Chain A
Amino acid sequence: MSQKHTLVALVEDHPGVLNRVASLFRRRGFNIDSIAVGPTETEGVSRMTIVVDGATTQVEQVEKQLYKLIDVLKVSDITGDRMIARELALIKVRCNNLNRHEIVQLAQIFRAEIIDVTDTTLVVQVVGDEETIENLLAVLRPYGVREIARTGRVAMARGAVSTSVEPEPVEIRQFHRREGRMPQKALPFVSD
C-alpha cells in the first residue's frame, strides 16, 4: 500500500551537513516525510534516517544525489520486511480528576508511559511505528491534545546486516599515500 522508502545515510559529523542534505532535497524537489539525525557507534559519523515518498520522488535519484555530497559516506535503502522502524512521541493531553485514570489506562494499552502529571495535564510518551502513534493520538484527541512532539522515524535492518562505516579508512589513506593526489590507478573501491 505504501510507497514510503526509508533511507539511512551515514554522514561526516561536519558543520553544515544537514544544510547540504536539506538544500539538495529542496533543489531537486524531493519530497521527504521525515528526517532524524543522531550520532552513531563510530566517532565523527552521524546517521540520518530519511523517509521518502516513492510515489512523488524517484528514490534512486535521492540515493545517487546524496552520494554526490562529499560528506555523505554511505546510503542504503532499508525498506522492507526486515526493517525495524520506530518513532517516539511526547503528547500533552488535557485532563481533570474525573478522566485522568481513564487516560492512563488508555496509554497503558499502547505501552505508553506517563512522564509528567499536573492537575490539568498529562504528558504521554509513546514509542512505536507511525501507525501506533497515530492510533494513540486518535484516542487521546477527544480529551484535548495540547501539544505534540515527534522525533520522526529511526530505523535499522534486522539480523546481522548493518549499515555502518569503518572508523579508519585505512585502504584509502594508504592508497593516496602511495599514489598521490591524482591517482592513475583505480581507487580500491570500485562499484559494481
Chain B
Amino acid sequence: MRLSGAQILLECLVREGVEIIYGYPGGVVLPLYDRFPQYPQIRHVLVRHEQGAAHAADGYARATGKVGVCLATSGPGATNLVTGICTAMMDSVPMVAITGNVARNLLGRDGFQEADITGITLPITKHNYLVMEAKDIAATVREAFYIASTGRPGPVLIDIPKDVFIEEAEFHWPEQVSLRGYKPTLDGHPGQIKKAAKLIDNAKRPVILAGHGVIASGGAPELRALAEKAGIPVITTFLGIGAFPQDHALSYAWLGMHGAYYANHAANNADVVIGVGMRFDDRAMGRFSDFNPTAQIIHIDIDPAEIGKNFKTAVPIVGDVKRVLAQLVQEVQPNTHVEWTRWIDDLRREHPSFIVPDTDGISMAYAIRQIYEATRGEAIIVTGVGQHQMWVGQHYTFRYPRQLISSGGLGTMGFEVPAALGVQMGRPDKVVWSICGDAGFQMTMQELATIVDQNAPVKLAIMNNGFLGMVRQWQELFYNHNYVAVDTKQALCQPDFVKIAEAYGIKALRVTEKEQVRAAIDEAMAHSGPVLIDFVVEQEENVWPMVPAGASLAETIDHPATAKKVRA
C-alpha cells in the first residue's frame, strides 16, 4: 500500500494504540494536520503553548502508564517542547514527541523556523531520530514507542522534515523491533537475589527506600508482599509516594529535604538499606559523604548506570523492579523487626513532622488536609513545584500508585495546569485536583482554555501566598531575610485569579477565611465542570522538617512546634 509519509505516521500511531495527541500546528506539519480528519480514532487536542502539550502528554503517561504523545511544528514549536521533554526525562516518563522540520533541501541552511531539535534534545531524550525518508517512518515509530515504554522509560523524539510527510512510500507495519544495541535486563540475577535475601534475613534494622520505579514497573503489590513477609519498614522517595499505602502499619512516609524527621533518621540508622527503583538522589539522601556510612546497600534498578553512581552498593541487582521483588519475596524468610519498628514509632511519636499549624488565616497544610478529607483520599493529585508541592506530600495520605503526579527531578514550575489536563483525560473516571502555586500557575495558565475545550472537570486549587514561597523561604533562612524578586502580592503584579478563570468561562471561588475552606471544596466537587479556587493563604509559612542544602539527613531540622515540645 503506497501512502504519504503523513499517512504512514498516523497509521503507525493508530497501531501503537495512541488515542490522544497534544499538539500545535504550524507551517511544516500542515501536511500531517491535513490527514488528521481521516483518522478520527486519534483525538488531537490543541494546546495553547507547546510546553503545555509536552506536560499534558507527560501527565497522561504518568496517570495511565501508557506512552504520552505530543506534536509540534519546527523551530519555536519544537524548542517550546524542550522543558516538557526534559521533565519527562528526569522522571523516566514514557513519551513520544513528534516535531516537523524544514524540508530536506533546506536542512542546515538556517531557513525560516529551522531548529536543530535532534541536536538540542540529544542529552534530554532517551533516544531521538531525524527521519530522512518516508519509507523509514514506520520502523522509526515502532522503535520509538518500544524504547520509550520499555526498560527505564523515557522520552523519544522523532523529527520529520516537511517533504518527508508528503513523500510517498510503501507502508509495511514492522512486526518486530530489532535493536541490537538495546536490551534491557528484566529478571534479576538469581545469585544476586540470593545474596540480597541473605543480607535481608540477617539485618537487624532494615529499611526499604521505594522510588518511582516501583510505580513505573507496576511492582507495588510485590513491594507490599516483601515488606510484609520480611517485616521491613517502607520509606518512599517523593516520587515514590503511592508505591506503598501510606496508611499501612509499615509505612513511614517519605524521606529527603522536606521528608519526615523519623524517615530521615530511620534511613540514616538502618543497617541494611534496600533501594528499590530509585536513584539515591541528593534531595532524598542529603550530603552523600555523610549518609549512613555503616549501612549495607542493596540497590534494585533497571538502569545499571544508576547503580554505584552515588553510593557504593553491597548487592546490585539490575532488573525490572516488579520481577526482582517477586523473586526476592520467594527467597527471604518471614520475619519481624519489633525493636527496630518500635524505635521508629517512638521517634514518630516525638517528632510527628507533618504538622498542621494553628494559624488564624488559612495555612496551606490545612487547606490540603481539607481537600484530602473532602475527596476521602481517593483523588489524583497533581502539583506544581515549591512549598505547596511539599505540603501535598506531607498532608495528603496517598494509598495508590499513580495517585500523586508531580515533577520531581527537574522541578518544573508550571507543570500543574497542563499535566492535570493530561491526567484527567487519561483517567476520566477519577476526581483530579491540581494543587497550584500562585507563581507556577501563571507560567502555564493559558492551558485553562484547553481545559475548557476538553470540558475536563479538573479542580484547580491555587495556594496563593503572594510569594514565590520556596524561594522566599530560602531567602529568609539562608540569605538573611533579604527578599528579592519574590513578593508577588505587594511589590509585583498579582492578577485576580478569579477573574482570569471567569474570563475563560471557568467557575471560580475565592476563599479567605478558614471556615469557608471546606464549603468551597465541597462546592467545587459538586460542580460537574472545571473549577478554580483561589485560596488566599498565610503569606510567610515555612516548610518543615528541612534538611538544608548540602547537609546530611542526620542534620534534619525538625518542625519548630515539635522541637519546642521535645525540649520542654
B177 proximal to A (CB < 8 A): yes
Q: Are A182 and B149 in contact (CB under 8 A)?
A: yes
Q: Are A190 and B308 in contact (CB under 8 A)?
A: no
B186 proximal to A (CB < 8 A): yes
Q: Are B180 and A169 in contact (CB under 8 A)?
A: yes
Residues of the A chain whose Cβ atoms lie less than 8 Å from the Cβ of B503? none
Q: Are B184 and A187 in contact (CB under 8 A)?
A: yes
Q: Are A67 and B122 in contact (CB under 8 A)?
A: no
Interface residue ranges of A46-98 to B (CB < 8 Å): 60-61, 64-65, 67-73
Known: A180-B175, A190-B189, A191-B304. 13 other contacts (CB 8 A): A23-B122, A24-B123, A60-B308, A64-B304, A65-B305, A67-B304, A70-B127, A70-B179, A71-B181, A169-B178, A176-B177, A180-B176, A191-B185
User: Nearest Cβ in chain B — how far from A52, in angstroms?
Assistant: 15
Complex CA distance for A71 and B182, rounded to whole angstroms: 8
B162 proximal to A (CB < 8 A): no
Q: Are B181 and A72 in contact (CB under 8 A)?
A: yes
B205 proximal to A (CB < 8 A): no
Interface residue ranges of B107-155 to A (CB < 8 Å): 118-119, 122-123, 126-127, 130, 142, 145-147, 149-150
Q: Are A68 and B303 in contact (CB under 8 A)?
A: yes
B228 proximal to A (CB < 8 A): no
B376 proximal to A (CB < 8 A): no
User: Nearest Cβ in chain B — how far from A182, in angstroms?
Assistant: 7
Residues of the B chain whose Cβ atoms lie less than 8 Å from the Cβ of A11? 181
Q: Which residue of chain A is the closest to B318 with respect to CB atoms?
A: A191
Q: Which residue of chain A is the closest to B176 with respect to CB atoms?
A: A176
Given contacts A67-B305, A191-B318, contact A181 B181 (CB under 8 A): no
Q: Are B305 and A61 in contact (CB under 8 A)?
A: yes
User: Nearest Cβ in chain A — how far from B274, in angstroms?
Assistant: 20
Complex CA distance for A80 and B354, rounded to whole angstroms: 55
Q: Are A177 and B175 in contact (CB under 8 A)?
A: yes
Complex CA distance for A183 and B178, rounded to whole angstroms: 12
Q: Can you list 20 residue pairs at the A/B interface with Cβ under 8 Å?
A: A27-B123, A60-B308, A65-B305, A70-B179, A70-B181, A71-B181, A73-B181, A169-B178, A169-B180, A172-B178, A172-B179, A173-B178, A176-B178, A181-B145, A181-B146, A181-B177, A182-B149, A186-B187, A187-B184, A191-B189
Residues of the B chain whose Cβ atoms lie less than 8 Å from the Cβ of A177? 175-176
B309 proximal to A (CB < 8 A): yes
Given contacts A12-B181, A181-B146, A182-B150, contact A190 B187 (CB under 8 A): yes
B183 proximal to A (CB < 8 A): yes
Interface residue ranges of A5-64 to B (CB < 8 Å): 11-12, 15-16, 19-20, 23-24, 27, 60-61, 64
Identify the interface centre among A12, A60, A187: most chain B CB within 10 Å of its CB.
A187
Complex CA distance for A169 and B176, rounded to whole angstroms: 13
Residues of the A chain whose Cβ atoms lie less than 8 Å from the Cβ of B127? 69-70
Q: Are B122 and A19 in contact (CB under 8 A)?
A: yes
Complex CA distance for A169 and B147, rounded to whole angstroms: 18
Interface residue ranges of B288-326 to A (CB < 8 Å): 303-305, 308-309, 318
User: Nearest Cβ in chain B — how far from A33, in angstroms?
Assistant: 22
User: Nearest Cβ in chain A — how far from B302, in angstroms?
Assistant: 11
Q: Are A19 and B187 in contact (CB under 8 A)?
A: no
User: Nearest Cβ in chain B — how far from A189, in angstroms?
Assistant: 5
Identify the interface centre among B178, B303, B309: most chain A CB within 10 Å of its CB.
B178
Q: Name A's interface SS.
A: mixed
Given contacts A60-B308, A61-B309, contact A172 B183 (CB under 8 A): yes
Complex CA distance for A155 and B176, rounded to whole angstroms: 36
User: Nearest Cβ in chain A — how far from B314, in angstroms?
Assistant: 16
Number of chain B residues whose Cβ lies closer than 8 Å to a Cβ of chain A = 33
Q: Are A192 and B147 in contact (CB under 8 A)?
A: no
A104 proximal to B (CB < 8 A): no
- Chain A residues touching B, range: 35 or more
Residues of A whose CB lies within 8 Å of any CB of B are: 11-12, 15-16, 19-20, 23-24, 27, 60-61, 64-65, 67-73, 165, 169, 172-173, 176-177, 180-182, 186-187, 189-192
Complex CA distance for A5 and B180, rounded to whole angstroms: 26
Complex A-B, nearest 10 residue pairs according to Cβ-Cβ distance, in ascending order:
A176-B176, A64-B305, A169-B180, A177-B176, A70-B127, A189-B183, A73-B181, A173-B178, A186-B187, A27-B123
User: Nearest Cβ in chain A — how far from B301, in angstroms?
Assistant: 11
Q: Are B180 and A73 in contact (CB under 8 A)?
A: yes
User: Nearest Cβ in chain A — how far from B322, in angstroms?
Assistant: 11
User: Nearest Cβ in chain B — how far from A143, in angstroms?
Assistant: 44
Complex CA distance for A12 and B127, rounded to whole angstroms: 14
Residues of the B chain whose Cβ atoms lie less than 8 Å from the Cβ of A16? 118, 130
Complex CA distance for A1 and B180, rounded to whole angstroms: 37
Give the contacting residue for A187; candidates B118, B181, B186; CB below 8 A.
Answer: B186
Q: Which residue of chain A is the closest to B147 with respect to CB atoms?
A: A70
User: Nearest Cβ in chain A — how far from B367, in angstroms?
Assistant: 40
Given contacts A12-B181, A72-B181, A181-B142, contact A192 B123 (CB under 8 A): no
Complex CA distance for A56 and B146, rounded to whole angstroms: 36
Interface code B316-355, partner A: CB below 8 Å = 1, 0 otherwise? 0010000000000000000000000000000000000000
Residues of the B chain whose Cβ atoms lie less than 8 Å from the Cβ of A172? 178-180, 183
Residues of the A chain whose Cβ atoms lie less than 8 Å from the Cβ of B181? 11-12, 69-73
User: Nearest Cβ in chain A — how far from B140, in angstroms?
Assistant: 12
Q: Are A165 and B180 in contact (CB under 8 A)?
A: yes
Residues of the A chain whose Cβ atoms lie less than 8 Å from the Cβ of B184? 187
User: Nearest Cβ in chain A — how far from B85, in angstroms?
Assistant: 15
User: Nearest Cβ in chain B — how far from A67, in angstroms?
Assistant: 7
Complex CA distance for A189 and B180, rounded to whole angstroms: 10
Q: Which residue of chain A is the closest to B152 with respect to CB atoms?
A: A68
Q: Are B189 and A192 in contact (CB under 8 A)?
A: yes
Identify the interface centre among B130, B142, B176, B185: most chain A CB within 10 Å of its CB.
B176
Interface code B454-479, partner A: CB below 8 Å = 1, 0 otherwise? 00000000000000000000000000
Residues of the B chain whose Cβ atoms lie less than 8 Å from the Cβ of A72? 181
Complex CA distance for A96 and B212, rounded to whole angstroms: 71
Residues of the B chain whose Cβ atoms lie less than 8 Å from the Cβ of A189? 183, 185
User: Nearest Cβ in chain A — how far from B23, in angstroms?
Assistant: 24
User: Nearest Cβ in chain A — how far from B229, in angstroms?
Assistant: 24
Q: Are B145 and A20 in contact (CB under 8 A)?
A: no
Residues of the A chain whose Cβ atoms lie less than 8 Å from the Cβ of B179? 70, 172
Complex CA distance for A19 and B145, rounded to whole angstroms: 23
